[in-house]
Amino acid sequence: MSDFRTESDSMGQVQIPADKLWGAQTQRSLEHFSIGNDLIPREMITAYAILKRCAAAANRAEGRLPDEAHDLITRVCDEILAGQHHDMFPLHVWMTGSGTQFNMNVNEVISNRCCQLAGTPLGSKSPVHPNDHVNMSQSSNDSFPSAMNIAAAIGLQRRLIPAVTALRDAIAAKAEEWREIVKIGRTHMQDATPLTLGQEWSGYAGMLTEGLERIDDALKGVYRLALGGTAVGTGINTAMGFAEAVAAEIAKQSGLPFVSAPNKFTVQGAHDALVQLPARCARLRSRSTRSPMISDCCRAGRAPVLPNCTSRKTNPVPRSCRGRSIRRRSRR
Amino acid sequence: MPGKVNPTQVEALTMIAVQVMANDVAVGFGGAGGYLEMNVYKPLMIANIAESIAILADGCTNFRKFLVEGTQPNRKKIAEYVESSLMLVTALAPVIGYDKASQIAHHAMDHDLTLKQAALQLGLVDEQTFDRVVDPAKMVEPGVAAAAAG
């Protein structure tokens, strides 16, 4: 058995390592865009597997995709969703700005894995063709932005929101526990009037609650998918009703309220819903940075501010540190 | 340094904060960079968004598990600082006026006295009124101390 096999695309033949499931276009991207260490985020593999599975379901329902191809694509997507084949997605972030090479990476891997399952040679593109079947009714230009939205929404719903909510709840529990402890409040890092430790921490919990509300607002736009717009938003080469059908399938598969975007030109020309996401996260971050920084200051040892709290396993603050004399120095 | 324990979770989370804000800048430029029918900064955008979500989520989880949940107040220190704070003088302002209250605070600071010692030494308020008004527990919610002894 040779270490390489030959596959071809519209530009000619390409040599591909024999044990890899990707095809000619992925190999070309690897050769021309192996830049740095950043790979396309793994979250996009999962998002694309959901997308391709749902596109196959919508295409079969319309009678466009043969049952055999549908069944094989579904099976391979389920394998990917179960964590298999992730090493077959080697492409780097610094590629074409449309993400086309990654879409083709997905199409080629699914096609070749279908070949393996069907007992046909890798690269034969039969019984499942990367473009004609896996990419049916789609273009990179509508599938990549849709996969971005799916990846972002899943990340927020399954990962970020639960983590921030748990942190908020833990802080709120401390606020409740400490609601009677009177401490000295500080402004300009100097003594001001008293408040309770519970009041102070309830403020931190509230900042996180507001951050979560902003993320929730931002998600509305992320649920609008570009699929069905194909190359420039007109929907050429896609069937009537595909956009709505595939969005409904993705909503069902992911359990998240995805819909077809009312205007495909809008969501292919710009990704404003995604643009505001990290800003919302950053806002959340600037909020939650406050609490650690403040608690950091307040538990500093001999340093300028106040050892109000200790965390687990931390040392008691030296007795010699008299707050008042320190404050007097800092005032002058 | 033997026994030294540093606020490492705090430092990790604040570094994450900086990275997330930097990612936001990249995504903002990317989002502004579309030409005609299509934006062509998509891999850049999703790479930064995915990283922000991942490090923010993991950072929050670790910060909660390894810092927030184990945090205990140092009640003794807290009480000491409350008692020694000259800014409790604020409660006296509605009773004896802002200027006299300031005078007490400065006198305490300059002569290393407690607030009460300073107040009584200057004769600006009687002990009973001082004890009634300068009560930190009463200073954590809206309310104005009255001048009359109560």
Residues of A in contact with B21 (CB under 8 A): 282, 285-286
Task: Look at residue A108 and give its three-state secondary structure.
Answer: helix
Closest in B56, B74, B75 to A317, CB measured:
B74
Residues B51 and B82 in one domain: no
Residues B116 and B135 in one domain: yes
Residue with tokens 């002990």: B127
List the Cα angle A304/A204/A159 in 5-degree steps: 120
Residues B89 and B113 in one domain: yes
A151-176 burial, b at 16+ Cβ within 10 Å, e below that, comes to bbbbbbbebbbebbebbbebbbebbe
Number of domains in chain B: 2
Q: Which amino acid is at A144?
A: F
Is there a domain that residue B45 lies in?
yes
Closest by alpha carbon to A159, among B42, B26, B52? B52
pLDDT averaged over 10-residue windows placed end to end, chain A, 332 residues: 87 96 97 97 98 98 97 98 98 97 98 98 97 97 97 97 96 96 92 94 92 92 96 93 97 98 93 82 61 52 43 38 34 32
Is there a domain that residue B149 lies in?
no
Q: What's the start-to-end Cα distance of chain B, in Å? A: 55
Is there a domain that residue B150 lies in?
no
Residues B86 and B62 in one domain: no
Q: What is the pLDDT of residues B74-106, one digit of tens each?
A: 999 999 999 889 999 999 999 999 999 999 999
Is there a domain that residue B148 lies in?
no
Residues B79 and B64 in one domain: no
Q: What is the DSSP letter of B38?
A: B
Q: How many interchain CB pairs under 8 A, A with B? A: 253
Q: Does A228 touch chain B (CB under 8 A)?
A: no
Q: Does B6 touch chain A (CB under 8 A)?
A: no
Task: Tally Cβ neighbours within 10 Å of residue A188.
Answer: 6
Q: Does A152 touch chain B (CB under 8 A)?
A: yes
- Percent of chain B predicted with pLDDT > 90: 81
Domains of chain A, CATH where assigned: 4-136 (1.10.275.10), 146-311 (1.20.200.10)
Residues B111 and B66 in one domain: no
Q: Which tokens belong to A149?
A: 């939205």
Reported residue count of chain A is 332
Of the three residues B45, B70, B95, the one that is the final residue of a domain is B70
Of the three residues B41, B70, B99, the one that is the final residue of a domain is B70
A174 touches B68 (CB < 8 A): yes
A258 touches A152 (CB < 8 A): no
Residues B79 and B114 in one domain: yes
Residues B17 and B49 in one domain: yes
Q: What is the pLDDT of residues A161-176, one digit of tens each?
A: 999 999 999 999 999 9
Closest by alpha carbon to A142, among A251, A275, A264? A264
List the Cα angle A223/A229/A230 in 5-degree steps: 120
Closest in B31, B73, B81 to A270, CB measured:
B31
Please tell me the distance in Å from B104's CA to the nearest CA on chain A.
Answer: 15
- Quote ipTM for the complex: 0.91
pLDDT at A291: 57
Residues B47 and B90 in one domain: no
Closest by alpha carbon to A23, among A40, A7, A3, A5? A7
Closest by alpha carbon to A139, among A93, A103, A108, A110? A103
Q: Which amino acid is at A285?
A: R
Q: Does A192 touch chain B (CB under 8 A)?
A: yes
Q: How far apart are CA A143 and CA A138, in angstroms?
A: 6
User: Is A164 close to B14, i.e. CB distance below 8 A?
Assistant: no
pLDDT at B35: 82
Is there a domain that residue B147 lies in?
no
User: Is B70 close to A98, i.e. CB distance below 8 A?
Assistant: no
Is there a domain that residue B2 lies in?
no
Any bridge partners for residue A6, and if so which? Answer: A15
> Which residues touch B56 (CB under 8 Å, ≥6 apart)?
A160, A163, A164, A281, A284, A285, B16, B20
Radius of gyration of chain A (CA): 27
Q: How far apart are CA B58 and CA B60, in angstroms?
A: 5
Is there a domain that residue B146 lies in?
no
Residues B12 and B65 in one domain: yes
Residues of A in contact with B87 (CB under 8 A): 184, 191-193
Q: What is the mean pLDDT of residues B65-72?
A: 93
Any bridge partners for residue B7, and if so which? Answer: none
Domain span including residue B65: 8-70
Residue with tokens 């055999």: A68
Report the CATH number that the domain containing residue B86 is assigned in CATH: 1.10.40.30
Of the three residues B53, B70, B87, the one that is the final residue of a domain is B70
Using alpha carbons, list the distances in angstroms from residue B98 to A109, B91, B114, B145.
77, 10, 18, 13
Q: What is the DSSP letter of A183?
A: E
Is there a domain that residue B3 lies in?
no
Q: Does A214 touch chain B (CB under 8 A)?
A: no
Torsion of the alpha carbons at A79, A80, A81 and A87, rounded to the nearest 10: 130
Residues B107 and B133 in one domain: yes
Please tell me the distance in Å from A3's CA to the nearest CA on chain B.
Answer: 31
Q: Which tokens belong to B101?
A: 């209250």
Using alpha carbons, list the distances in angstroms from residue B78 to A74, A197, A249, B24.
62, 9, 57, 39
Closest in A167, A196, A277 to B68, CB measured:
A167
Q: How far apart are CA A211 and CA A232, in angstroms?
A: 35
Residues B83 and B133 in one domain: yes
Half-sphere exposure of A326 (CA within 13 A, CB side): 15
pLDDT at A287: 58
pLDDT at B7: 84
